[in-house]
Each structure stands twice: as C-alpha cells, then as structure tokens.
Amino acid sequence: EAWRPDGEDERRGAMGPVKVRVPAKVNLHLGVGPLRRDGYHELNTVYHAISIYDELTARRGDTLTLTMEGEGTGELALDDSNLVMRAAHALAGYAGVLPHARLHLRKQIPLAGGLAGGSADAAATLVACDALWGTGLTRDELAGIAADLGSDVPFLIHGGTALGTGRGEAVSPVLARPTSWYWVVAIADGGLSTPAAYRELDRLREAGTAGPPLGATDALLAALRQRDPRVLAATLGNDLQDAALAMRPALAETLKAGEAAGALAGLVSGSGPTCVFLAENGARAERIAAELTAAEVCREVRVAHGPVAGARIV
C-alpha cells in the first residue's frame, strides 16, 4: 500500500485536472523480420507521429474510473481490459501508490486502425497519472512500464520520428531536418486485428506468395535528412501491406484513388486498414483529401502533418 507521511497526500501531485494530448503514429518503414520464440516478430521500423490526437484528462478521485467520447464510443470496453486502465494500474503498481483517478478519454484516433490509438492512450495515461499522483518517474522509467504495455507505447511517449527495433519497443530518435511532412489519412470503415495481420503475413510467407521483405532503413533515413518529399516517397514501405490487402482487398482501391488524386506515395499504415498518402505540401494535401473524399473509397479523410511531439501535458 502507499506509504505517505501525515499530510503528504494532500501536497503531492496535481490538485487540478491534468490534460495530456497524444498523437497517432504511422510507420514510414515497417520491416517485419522472423517470428521470435516469444511470439513476436523482430521489427525494423521507422515510427512517425502525426497530428491526429487523442486527449486524456486525469482528475483526482476515490477510485479508478474511465469515461470516453469520440471514436469507438460504445464499442470500446472501459473496464480493466482498456489500455488506459492497464496503464494506470501498471504505473500505480510500479510507484507504490493507489490507482485512484477519474480518467476521461477524448478519442479521435480510430479503433484498430493501424495508427496505434490504444498504445497512444496508454502513453497518455502514464504521463497524466505521473503528474496527477506526483510520482515523478524519469522518462526511462516511464518507457520501461510503457514497453510492458505494448510495443508501440514507448514511441508514443517520445513522438517525433524514431527508429524502432526489437519488437518495436526499443526506440531511438532519428536525426532529421526540422521539416514538416504532409499526409492525407484515409480511415476505413471497421478495423483490422494486428495479430491477425501478422498471422496472415506468416501464412503468405510460408506459401511463398509474400513480396520480398523490405531491406534496411538507410535510404529512408537519408531521405529524412533532405527536404524533398519526392525522395521520401520513394523510400516508404510496409511489409504488412500485402497481408492487410489480402484481408481487405478493397484497400487496393483506396491506394489507387490516393495516387490518382496526386499523392506522391500511398501505403497502408501499420497493420491497416488506414491508408496514408504523402503530399508535396499542405495545400496539395487538402486537394488530395477533397478528391479522395469524393471518390468514396473510405469512411473519412483527414489531413495531418508530422513529426509532432509525443504524449505531452497541455
């Protein structure tokens, strides 16, 4: 149980609400290596945080509760299976405090969309509760708890553009020019299960019908050090794309429509079904978004830019 000297409880942490904003991620490069003994695949990925955000507000409370609004409301369980609840329990357990808070999630990142929304919410919860409870963990301690919650969670604390290795949890920032890249994000109706996408890739590889695996990230990392979106476009890639297309053949139409609308490149984000398109600039992105909306190949189209910061108190 939490031990505090008399009166400390009142002074520690934030009294007022703590609001944290956290971005979605796309993988500019998602290289899927062999299946490991622990059931995860060895990944070689470049994460990129984009300006589609969830927002988590943490208030003082006598128990731990979670409410939500926005994407996935009514579908997403708000019990202890929710990554927000799991993150709050994990932090409280690590820091030796009671997991008492009233948490509210405002969700704009679609569920099971390949944009790591659940991981983003877990990252936001760690940052928010750390401030609310005054546990004052270091970034490294938070990253350690984050890694246990999910492979993408450490990156969503960092944000920006970063290399991910291991099962994706080992994150190191990428040296890049301070440039913004503009993305058109095509959100599909319904989600795709990430484990199912990996299983489908394994199946395609066993059958010998998977495309050749992506090579090293060198070309992409070099492109990020330049300012030319055309150069970046030529280096984007995702080993899970064939699997996502096999599970959701209609995504081929979405990808075609984005490229026909003038995108420099299009790819499936993570395990899908969200597709992202690189645009030459912000104005071009708006035009592509309008055409893509008119083509009726997805549920919703948004324009975003990246890189943006990870989970931050606002």
* Residues with catalytic function: 25, 152
Determine the residue type at 231.
Answer: V
Span interacting with ligand ATP, options 105-113, 138-146, 251-259, 281-289, rule CB under 6 A: 105-113
Span interacting with ligand ATP, options 109-117, 173-181, 225-233, 304-312, rule CB under 6 A: 109-117
Q: Say if CB 198 and CB 41 are below 8 A apart.
A: yes
**Residue 58 or residue 261: which is nearer to ligand ATP going by CB?**
58
Classify burial at 31, counting beta carbons within 10 Å of its beta carbon; exposed 0-12, middle 13-18, buried 19 or more: buried
Per CB under 6 A, does 239 bind ligand ATP?
A: no
**Residue 248 or residue 284: which is nearer to ligand ATP going by CB?**
248
Centroid of chain to Cα 30: 13
Q: Which residues pair with 313 in a beta bridge?
A: 20
Residue 154 — left, alpha, or beta (φ > 0 → left; ψ -120 to 50 → alpha)?
Answer: alpha
Binding mask 270-289 for ligand ATP (x = CB under 6 A): xx------------------
Q: Which of 22, 32, 43, 76 binds ligand ATP (CB under 6 A)?
A: 76
Q: Which of 117, 164, 229, 266 binds ligand ATP (CB under 6 A)?
A: 117
List the structure tokens of 54: 């969830």
Comparing every residue's Cβ against ligand ATP, the nearest one is: 118
Per CB under 6 A, does 116 bind ligand ATP?
A: yes
Q: What is the pairing mode between strands 161-165 and 237-238?
A: unpaired
DSSP 118-167: HHHHHHHHHHHHHHHHT----HHHHHHHHHHH-TTHHHHHHBSEEEEETT
CB of 59 to ligand ATP, least distance (A): 18
Binding mask 242-271 for ligand ATP (x = CB under 6 A): ----------------------------xx
Kindly identify the residues of this chain, within the stretch 192-221, that bind ligand ATP according to CB under 6 A.
Answer: 194
Distance, in Å, from the CA atom of 206 to the CA atom of 27, rounded to the nearest integer, reads 24
What residues make contact with ligand ATP under the rule CB under 6 A? 76, 82-84, 111-119, 121, 152, 191, 194, 270-271
